[in-house]
Amino acid sequence: AASKFSEEQMSWDQMGEWADEWVTFESKAKFENGMFVARIRGDSMEPTIPADAYCLFRQPRAGSRQGRIVFVMHSGVNDPFTGGQYTVKEYTSEKAVDPETDWRHTRITLKPHNQKYDPILLTPEDEGEARVIAEFVEVVG
């Protein structure tokens, strides 16, 4: 789970201006424009992402998101720690052939790695309520 962004944080152009704190870390990942570190609250992604871990994220890659861990904004999410509408989960989707667009989602699943939590299931009607903000790179620190 992740907290709600403030007004200042809504513009990615001003990222350095609103950071709460700066972190330094060793990483094999090549730094890219738009990367950021966020502290993840909760244990829904354990063991992959420990509770309260700092994680490195990058802008979402083009192509399939299947099996990737993503940082998602969803109006149906209510973070118990902060009241925000953000979550970090593994993305999977099911698709069907669509004559107009080649394919369409029939269901998107945002899957926790900790089995004590239920996945978030999105139907095509819900899809507009969810937005992938970033893609998980690694736990840092």
DSSP the chain: -BPPPPGGGG-GGGHHHH-S-------SSPP-TT-EEEEEPSSTTTTTS-TTEEEEEEPPPSS--TT-EEEEEETT---TTT--SEEEEEEEEEEEEETTTEEEEEEEEEE-SSTTSPPEEE-TTTGGGEEEEEEEEEEE-
Arithmetic mean of pLDDT over the chain: 79
Query: pLDDT digit string (tens) for 16-41?
Result: 555 666 777 788 888 888 888 888 98
Whether the per-residue pLDDT at 106 is higher than 90: the answer is: no
Instruction: Please tell me the predicted confidence (pLDDT) of residue 69.
Output: 97
Strand partners, 136: 57
**Segment 59-83, tens digit of pLDDT:** 998 888 889 999 988 776 666 666 6
